[in-house]
Structure 1
Amino acid sequence: RCTTPTAGATATCSDRTPPGWRRSTRRSTSRRSSRSTAATACLCPPPGPGPTPPSRSGPPVRQFVRPAALLPATTSAGHVRALLTGSPEVSGVLLVDTHGVPVRSVHRSRFLLSMSGRYGHALYADRPAAKLGDPPRTVGVDATAWEVLDVVAVGDRDRTSDDVAVVDRYGRCVGVVRLADLVRALAESRVEEAASLNPLTRLPGSDAITGEVDRRIADGRTFALSWLDVDHFKQVNDGAGFAAGDELIRSVGRALRHAASGSTHVGHIGGDDFLVLADPDGLDPVAASVLDAPWSAGGNPVSLSLATVVCTPGSVMDHRQAAAWLAPLKKAAKSIGGASWVLGRAGVNGHEVRRGAGASATPAGYGVAEPGRN
């Protein structure tokens, strides 16, 4: 459990440290020795191996956690003032209860402004600092940057510069995030995302999809990864012309985008190839949007092939293994004349034909071979 010190002592962090996080305690000494020493205690995430690929929900808040200045809820305003004047890098103080749960948030500028008034110091110095604080804004350790912005957006406009406390599942503070850090990171991720969009369909490329696949694997979620392409696309281009081919690809991309909802991600990985990442129960609307439509190019009918691999927790280790299971399914779908849809499961031989000749049966010779084996 988390213990919180009395004024002038060093705060200690909970021994229930989230996996992979490190413990850090920073001490800041006041210019006035009579006010003793204040301390800040925090839990910080370890540095990652590199930038996390952006997702629709934004980067995780763990990337932006800073040390939090924690003091007991009963701390006097004079003690908080000593900490802030002696530590210019501290933007605010969180007052926590005996379990480390934030109860009040003290913003540096507003607090010091109140204390520097004509009678401010005399009026507040020996009183609880909580009187000059506000209700804390909190988010869980698993929140995303966009969720933090939502918390800030619904609050008082005068508090947009306040730190947001990051809490564990017990409500205990493990650090803070600053709005400026989040805005900067989200802006950068949007620029990177825009640069990776396919110029023809304005859909993200393979990096965005494979990054989300790896996130779902890490979270232990079941998902379905699908590969869609146009049958005999080279002949379509040669016969109808590249302009008709481009318009066909744009139309397929629009259909996929309109059918995608909730946690479904659509990507255009080049040429006539698309990737769709969805929950298994979200497959049918996406499949219907492209397989039931009467596609044509230059007045000639065109068919599409769809292959899907369902990955359950533990069946694949990363997106590369998921792609390896998907490859033979795509080959099986392309071997079926007309619009087709083949579905298999990672780690399980065989597949189901959901659209096309032999639907609801597993044709001989098209079992899903385990990746890496002949």
Structure 2
Amino acid sequence: MNHSSAGRRILLLPNELTSTPALSSALEKAGYQVVEGHLSQLALHELVHDPPCLVLAAEGSGGHSVETLTRTLKLDAFLGRLPLIVFVRDSRLNDVDWGSLGVDDFITVPYRTEDVVHRVRLCLSRLTRSLDANPLTRLPGNTTILCETTARIQSQQPFALAYLDIDNFKSFNDRYGYGRGDEVLIVACRILTTVVGELAGSEGFVGHVGGDDFVFMSRPDTIDAICETIIKRFDLVIPDFYDREDRLKGYIDSVDRRGNKEQFPIMSLSIAVVTNERSPIAHPGDVSKIASELKKRAKAMKGSVYVKDQRGQAVGETHSLKTDSITQLPTTS
């Protein structure tokens, strides 16, 4: 991912060793705006109006030790939410309890200005990934998915992107509770990451849009095998999440979104596969539009199924979106 640094402000709380024109110059050359200050003199109303993205604080600034400096910053309602990198003398490294300090990184003094720039970029990159990651599965979320999709479109190399939705997941949650639902999502995540890792290797990507919606990507020549294997493994394990009575029946009794009683089958997968193999894709929005239509078709079918984009093969025909694989759950007696 390319994290643009243009126009991003850094609050620098210096001491006599770090307040150097070279440091500010290097950061500004990298696209950051540097605001120097001291804790006792900060005009917080100005910072809130145009907030910094990170704080660089040097031990000794305002006469504070790194412990006192960090504690003061973290107690501040505004500054305490920002990522914090501290400058500390090399001789102090073993004296500091880094586990309890609450800083995001440290830089030893003396330092090289180019190293500071790299550490700032890495810190912000980590923060972006952390905020984007789904808290349950730890898979990358929508920001990373968009960046990955855009990168694959711009590379003009063949790629396939699949949207995966777990059918009847809401009724399962209603029946068994969110704790059991979370277990299903974690197992789905493990199946996806394992299968994509096995069959796509470094070409693969898995993301979590949210709820029971996932995305995975690979080269077009591996996407069929990936979808088939995911369906096979999911359908094999998912009945075990149901109570024996419901598992034997093959459905659960619940209510639909209008409050009407309904029988909901065992959970299955609907997968919509979009590819630029035969017809080009110019924008991530095009992917969503095509996938939305494909997913409707997939969800209209019983059991686990993936529907594959066939644009360019039978242009203008309503049946040009072809179902490539359907995996049905075995009937139980």
What TM-score results when the alignment is normalised by the length of structure 2? Answer: 0.52
Seen in structure 2, the aligned counterparts of structure 1 residues 193 and 353 have a Cα distance that, compared at 3 Å, is same
Residue deviations 1:54-82, cap 9 Å, x none? Answer: 3xxxx38x989xxxxxxxxxxxxxxxxxx
Q: SS at 2:163's partner residue?
A: strand
Unpaired runs of at least 5, structure 2: 7-20, 27-110, 248-265, 329-333
User: How is 1:221-232 mapped onto 2 (pairs within 5 angstroms)?
Assistant: 221-232=157-168
Which residue in 2 is equivalent to 1:153? Answer: none
The residue type paired with residue 323 of structure 2 is V
Give the corresponding residue for 2:221. 281
Amino acid in structure 2 at the alignment position of 1:291: I
Q: Secondary structure at the match of 1:262?
A: helix
Cα separation, 1, equivalents of 2:298 and 2:214: 14
Per the alignment, residue 103 of structure 2 pairs with none
Give the corresponding residue for 1:304. 269
Deviation (angstroms), 1:188:
1.0
Q: How many Å apart are 1:223 and its aligned residue? A: 1.0
1:353 partner SS: strand
Residue matched to 1:196:
132
Rounded to whole Å, the distance in 2 between the matches of 1:259 and 1:357 is 17
- Residue 241 of structure 1 corresponds to 177
Q: Relative contact order: is structure 1 or structure 2 higher (C-alpha 8 Å, sep ≥ 6)?
A: 2
Does residue 123 of structure 2 align to residue 187 of structure 1?
Answer: yes
- Between the aligned partners of 2:225 and 2:115, the Cα distance in structure 1 is 38
Give the match for residue 356 of structure 1.
326
- Count matched residues: 195
Is the 2:310–2:322 contact (alpha carbons within 8 Å) kept by the matching residues of 1?
Answer: no
- 1:270 matched to 2:215? The reply is no
Q: Is the 8 A contact 1:228 1:304 kept in 2?
A: yes
Report what 2:34 is aligned to.
none
Q: How far apart in 2 are the matches of 1:284 and 1:213?
A: 19
Work out the CA distance in 2 between the residues paired with 1:63 and 1:346. 39
How far apart, in 1, do the equivalents of 2:282 and 2:205 lie? 20
SS in 2 for 1:356: strand
Cα distance in 2 for partners of 1:255, 1:216 equals 23
- Structure-2 separation of matches of 1:257 and 1:265: 8
SS in 2 for 1:336: coil
Cα distance, 1:347 vs structure 2? 5.4
Q: Which residue of 2 aligns with 1:136?
A: none
**Distance in 1 between residues matched to 2:276 and 2:284, nearest whole Å:** 10
Aligned residue in 1 for 2:281: 316
- For residues 312 and 354 of structure 1, the distance between their equivalents in structure 2, rounded to whole angstroms, comes to 16
Name which one, 1 or 2, has greater alpha-carbon Rg. Answer: 1
* Superposition TM-score, scaled by structure 1 size: 0.47
- Relative to structure 2, which stretch is displaced further, 224-233 or 259-268? 259-268
In 2, Cα distance between equivalents of 1:269 and 1:284: 21
Classify 1:193/1:201 alpha carbon distance in 2 versus 1 (closer, same or farther; 3 Å). same
Q: 1:270 to 1:63 in 2, by over 3 A?
A: closer
Q: CA deviation at 1:213?
A: 1.0
Q: Is the 8 A contact 1:336 1:357 kept in 2?
A: no
2:294 matched to which residue of 1? Answer: 329
Structure 1: runs of 5 or more not aligned: 1-53, 65-86, 92-160, 164-177, 359-374
Q: Do the aligned partners of residues 313 and 215 (structure 1) sit closer, same or farther apart at CA in structure 2, a change above 3 Å counting?
A: farther
Distance 2:310 2:136 in 1: 32
The superposition leaves residues 3-60 of structure 1 with CA deviations (integer Å, 9 ceiling, x where unpaired) of xxxxxxxxxxxxxxxxxxxxxxxxxxxxxxxxxxxxxxxxxxxxxxxxxxx3xxxx38
Q: Supply the RMSD in Å over aligned alpha carbons.
A: 3.1
Higher helix share: 2
The Cα shift of 1:302 comes to 2.5
Residue 217 of structure 1 is matched in structure 2 by 153
The amino acid of 1:258's aligned partner reads: T
1:187, 1:263 → 2: CA distance?
26
Change (3 A) 1:305 1:338: same
Amino acid paired to 1:355: S
Which segments of structure 1 move beyond 4 Å, counting only runs of 4 or more? 87-91, 346-349
Q: Residue in 1 aligned with 2:256? A: none
Query: Any idea what SS the aligned residue of 1:337 has?
Result: coil
Q: CA 1:306/1:315 → structure 2, altered by over 3 Å: closer, same or farther?
A: same
Cα 1:287–1:194, aligned 2, differ >3 Å: closer, same or farther? same
2:230 paired residue number: 290
